[in-house]
Structure 1
Amino acid sequence: MHLVLIVAAAAYGAVAGLLVPRPRYRLAVAPEEPWRYRCPQGHPLTGPAGGWLGPARCPACPVERRRFSVRAAPVAVALAVFCGGLAAATGARPELAVWLLLAPFGALLAGVDRAVSRLPDVLTLPMAAGAVSLLGVITLLPRGAGSWTRALLGGAVLGGGYLLLFVISPTGIGFGDVKLAPTLGVALGWYGWDVLFLGAFAGPLLGAVHGGWLVLTRRAGRKTALPFGPFMLAGAGAGVVLGALGTA
């Protein structure tokens, strides 16, 4: 049964990953611009859910120009591995459904932040509300391994911490990072304060290692601004997996 759950979660992650590049393209715009309605060649993006679902290919474009976003295969593989890992760590506990629902949106946020160095409100704010609401429902079900009250406090602590960093150094932390922090704090706080601190510090550590590597390889300077959201998400993802393992 556990193996079936892992395979099903991995398959879900792969399918979700195939759908990420299209909304990534549509949301990867400057803060003052609306999301994209057309492909790079000017053709309207139509289809399910108002053109948000489907492959990142435009059927009206010439064959060699149909793909208008990043390749879907690497995203699908990464999400399949992560979702399978979540299932292996969490097992059949009900909070797994919440983590699996949040994972594709985390991948989408990371992709948009890498592309244009912003975390759009249309994703960060609903994710925070969704994480709080869904985990609240989970507390009513049997076999849940976390604490909703601690999750709420975790969201407040991590969100407040990032807000303080933004006030102290607005050039070092973007306000989008502040808006993302409560969601990550809720997810990490569900499993405990030690998991919260682990996931919270893993993000900056990963960012520092990556930035150091770019400087050493001369692909960036010491003052080069790097998107921080992907590292926050990676650190929180690792923390959730370890937290789930610790309650197994």
Structure 2
Amino acid sequence: MPPATVLAVAAVGALALGPQLARASVRLALRDDATGAGPLRTAVTTVLVAAALAGALLLTGWRPATVGLAWAAAAGVVLGAVDLAVHRLPDRVTFPAYAAVAAALLLDALLLGTWPALLRAVLAAAAAFGLAALAALVSPEGLGYGDVKLLGLLGLVLGWVGWGALLAGVFLGLLTGALVSLALLATGRARWRTALPFGPPLLVGAVLALALEGPVPLG
């Protein structure tokens, strides 16, 4: 796909969605539907959405799965913002993302015959969700149930790309979280017992894994 086309589509989509998603992130964090987003948050959200849409297009091109990946990426922008603000990953964002990604991947399989990728995605989502749920039961203070549901969603996306992408995404997410924690400890901005949001590192790990994976072949 020509880079100019990718940039144009991403820019138009971001300008349309960015302000809405910025408002949504503030309202979900504050639980106040009358609150608006400031100019800086709106600008940052719009830039992140543009990057997310461009990434989805570069990764998969024009196909049904692209819609699912773009939806997951936009949801990730909102989830990351809310988690950073109030350490919460709202189901109002996560559950619709599950449905949108699953529907897009199913349509992709119906039209392009990508049934093995769909099966792998479902198995990866179940594995990621199950292992995360077990970890949350063993150590509730380390992993919240919002993180468990997010890992299931990331498993669906990364698993569709490949098992390697899933493993890389989880590893890079854990590594990012560890590095951020160490940096905050070293600068005195956090203590050993300080609760830190785990969603943003997981999202960063997923993005890095997809970037390393490169374009997904059609079919």
What is the TM-score when the length of structure 2 is the normalising length? 0.89
Matched, 1:37 2:33: yes
Q: Distance in 2 between matches of 1:4 and 1:142?
A: 26
Matched with 1:6 is 6
Shift, 1:143, TM fit: 7.8
**Match among 144, 150, 164 for residue 180 of structure 1:** 150
Identity rate, percent: 36
Superposition deviation, residue 87 in structure 1: 1.9
- The answer for the alignment partner of 2:185 in structure 1 is 215
| Higher normalized helix content (fraction of residues) | 2
State the distance in 2 between where 1:246 and 1:114 align: 31
Find 1:79's aligned residue among 49, 57, 71. Answer: 49
* Alpha-carbon offset, residue 173 of structure 1: 0.4
C-alpha distance in 2, partners of 1:247/1:203?
25
TM-score by structure 1 length?
A: 0.79
Distance, in Å, in 2 between the alignment partners of 1:129 and 1:96 is: 14
Aligned to 2:171: 201
Partner of 1:168: 138
Asked whether 1:118 is paired with 2:91, we answer no
8 A contact 2:170–2:205 mirrored in 1: yes
Residue number in structure 2 paired with 1:20: 21
Question: Counterparts of 1:139 and 1:219 in 2: how far apart (Å)?
Answer: 47
Conserved in 2, the CA contact under 8 Å of 1:10 and 1:84?
A: yes
> Is the 2:10–2:51 contact (alpha carbons within 8 Å) kept by the matching residues of 1?
yes
Consecutive unaligned residues of structure 1, counting only runs of 5 or more, are: 30-34, 40-55, 58-66
User: 1:51 is matched with which residue?
Assistant: none
Give the secondary structure class of the aligned counterpart of 1:232.
helix
Q: Does 1:243 align with 2:213?
A: yes
SS in 2 for 1:118: coil
Higher Cα radius of gyration = 1
CA RMSD of aligned residues (A): 2.2
8 A Cα contact 1:90 1:241, kept in partner: no
Equivalent residue number for residue 194 of structure 2: 224
Look up the SS of the partner of 1:119 in the other structure.
coil
Paired residues in the alignment total 217
Alignment gaps of 5+ in structure 2: none
Match of 2:167, SS state, is helix
Which secondary structure does the structure 2 equivalent of 1:219 belong to?
coil
- Output the CA distance in 1 between the equivalents of 2:215 and 2:7: 18
